[in-house]
Amino acid sequence: MKITDLLALESIDLQGNPESKTEAIEQMVRLMEVSGKLLDREGYKRGVIEREEEGTTGIGDGIAIPHCRSEAVKTPGLAAMVVKHGVDYDSLDGEPVHLIFLIAAPNTKDNVHLQVLSKLAGLLMDDTFVERLKNAKNNEEFLEIIDNAERVKDREETAESSATKLKSEAKNKHSLKFLAVTACPTGIAHTYMAAESLEKKAKEAGHVIKVETRGSGGVKNTLSVQEIAEADCIIVAADVQVPMERFHGKKVILCKVADGIGKAADLIKKAETAEIPVYQSNAGRKSTIEVAEKENAGRQIYKHLMSGVSHMLPFVVGGGILIAIAFLIDGLRVDLSTVADKTTFGSITPLAALFKSIGGTAFSFMLPILAGFIAMSIADRPGLALGFVGGAIAASGKSGFLGAMAAGFLAGYIIVLLRKLTAKLPEKLDGLRPILIYPLLGILAIGIIVIYIIEPVFGAVNTALNSGLASMSSTSSILLGLLLGGMMAVDLGGPVNKAAYVFGTASIAAGNYPIMAAVMVGGMVPPCAIALATILYKNKFTSDERKSGPMNFIMGLAFISEGAIPFAASDPLRVLPSLIVGSAISGGLSMAFRCTLMAPHGGIFVFPVVGNALLYLLSLTIGTVISAVLLGILKKPVIEITD
C-alpha cells in the first residue's frame, strides 16, 4: 500500500481558506467525506475534535496532522489542505499552519495502513518535500510529488537496511553508534516523526543511529542485544512505558517524544558528550519514562504523590458512584422521616445495602492504595507493602487522608534507608533483602511511626478543633457556617473535614439541625465545583482530569467530598483555596437562610427532609459557581503533548 492509495484527488484542497482551527477541521472532514472513507461524518468529526482537546496535533514548522481512529471510519484514508495565508492551529511552536494532513483510521486489527502513515510522517520532516507540496500547481502534481518522494524513500530503505548502516557507516572513526526508542500514546504520527527526525539529525552529524518505533502497528525495528551492547548512547523519546531493563549499564537519555521531533539536534549533541548518566535497572529506578533533566525536590514529591493518586482514583470513582446509587435507592423507596436511626440511610433496603457494601469496600482501599503507590514510586516494589500497611492504619485511625499520604512517603524512604543500611551485606544475602529484611523491618517501622507519631498528632488536632467549634457555636451562626463549610474543603475527608463532620452529626442528637446542614453543603461543593470547572475551563485540566471530572457531580450531590482529592492533590496551592472559599460561602449562606438537616449523610437524596430546601439548593449552587470560577482564575493552563 502506498500513500497515494490513501489520498484521493478529490480529498486535496490547494486553496484552503479556514479562518480558525475549528473551520480547518470542518473543511478537512468534508474533504475526507467526499472520498467515501467515512461511515459517520459527524461521529468522525467528534472524534477528531476530541483528539484535539487532548493535545494539539499542530506539530510545528507549519504542519498539522489531525487524526482519529474510530468506528465511524470505513477504510483508511487521507485528506490534505494547503493554507497559503496560514491558520492559527494552536501549534506547539505557536506559528500558523500552512499544510494539513487529516488521517482517518478504522478501529480494526488490520494496521497495515499505519506503515504508510508512518512513512508520510517521516517525509514531512523534509523541508524541501513540504515546500514542494505547498507550491503544487494542481492536485495531480501534489500526488506526484508524494509518489516520487515515496519511491525515493523506498529505494533508500531497500538499498541499505538498518543493520547495514550500522556496519558500513561505523567505519568512520569519528562516528558514534546511537540507538533510540520512540513511542507516543496512540502511535500514529509523533512516534514516527520523532524517529525520522532523530535519524536525520544523527546522519547530518556523521553518526549512525537505529530507531525502534513502538506505535499502534506494533514494535518495528526492534533493537537487538548486540546492538545495545555496542551502542555509545541510547535516546528514549517516549511518553508511555517502554522496556528499560535491557538498557542496564548503558548511557541513556530520557525525554518526551515531542523532544525527539523538535529538539532532535540537541539530543544528538548531548549524546555525543561523555556526561550522560548510566541507566541502572536494579537500583530502585523504575522502567518508566522520566524527563532527563535534574528534578528538584518539589517535582519529585509531586511525581510520587501523583503515582499514588492515579492508582487511587478508580477506587474513589467506582466506590463513590456505587455509594451514591445506594443513597438514591433509599431516597426513592424510604420515607426518611420515619427512620429512627438516620445513620443507616443508604443501607436500609436490601438493594441499597448491596450497593453501599460494594462501594464501601472499594472506598476502604482508597487510602492504602494511595500510600502504597506513593511508596512504590519512591522505592519500587519493596515500598508497596509498607505503604499499604501504613495507609491501612491511617484509614482505620484518626489521621485519614493526610496520615495515609505521610505514611506513603515515610514507607518509601524507609526502604531507601534500609537499602543503604544493608548495602554492605554479603552478596549471598541479596535475595533475602526484598523478601525478608525489607518487609519485616519496614512494616514494623512504618507501623510504629504511624501508630505512635502520626495518629496522636492528628488525633490531638481533631480534639482541639472540636473543642473550638463547641465554644463558638452560639457566638455567630453565620460565622460558624462559614468556618464549618470551609473546614469541609480543607483536607476533603481528612482530620479537619472529619472534625467538622463529627461536630455536625453530634449537633443532630442535640437537636441543632442548622449545623449539620452547613456541614453537608460545605462538603458537597468541592466535587461539584471540580466537575463544573473541568467543563468550563478545559485548558486548566489534563485529559484524564477532564474525563473523570464530570463524575464528581454524582459524588458531590451524594455528599462524597473525596471525589475532589485527586484534583486537589495535583495542585493543592491553587485548588484547595478555591474550594475552601466556595464551601465556606455555601456554609455561611445555609446558616443565613436558616436551613436545617436531620440526616447525617445523603446529599441531594435527603433534600426532601431539608428545611428551606430551595434556599439550601441556592446555597450549594452559589458556592459551587464561586469555587469553579476561582479554579478557572487561579489554575495555570495545562500543556499536554500527546500523539
Residues taking part in catalysis: 67, 184
Q: What is the 3-state secondary structure (H, E, C) of 525-554?
A: HHHHHHHHHHHHCHHHCCHHHHHHCCHHHH
Encode burial over 137-155: b for 16+ CB neighbours within 10 A, e otherwise: eebeebbebbeebbeebee
**Strand 208-215 relative to strand 177-183, pairing:** parallel
Report how far residue 222's alpha carbon sits from residue 220's, in angstroms, rounded to the nearest whole number.
5
Strand order in the sheet with 177-183: 218-220, 208-215, 177-183, 233-238, 252-255
Please report the sign of the dihedral spanned by the C-alpha atoms of residue 585, residue 586, residue 587, residue 591: positive
Task: Return all residues near 57 (Cβ < 8 A) that are at least 6 apart.
Answer: 51, 64, 65, 66, 67, 189
Torsion sign across C-alpha atoms 91, 49, 79, 218: positive
Amino acid sitting at position 397: G
Our CA dihedral for 592, 594, 595, 597, rounded to 10 degrees, sits at 120
Rounded (5°) CA angle 206-209-212 = 160
Nearest CA among 552, 591, 593 for reference residue 575: 552
Compute the distance between CA of residue 530 and CA of residue 631 in angstroms, rounded to an integer.
8
Cα separation, 383 vs 374, in Å, equals 8
CA dihedral 34, 35, 41, 43 (to 10 degrees): -160
- Cα–Cα distance measured from residue 103 to residue 112, given in angstroms and rounded to the nearest whole number: 14
What nine digits make up the cell of 437? 529484611
How much of the chain is helix, strand and coil, in % rounded to 5?
65, 10, 25
Strands of 171-217, DSSP E: 177-183, 208-215
Alpha-carbon distances of 63 from 82, 145, 295, 539, 629, rounded to whole Å:
10, 17, 32, 22, 35
At 32, give phi and psi (nearest 5°).
-70, -40
- Cα separation, 468 vs 310, whole angstroms: 36
Cell 448491596, located at residue: 354
β-strand partners of 7: 78
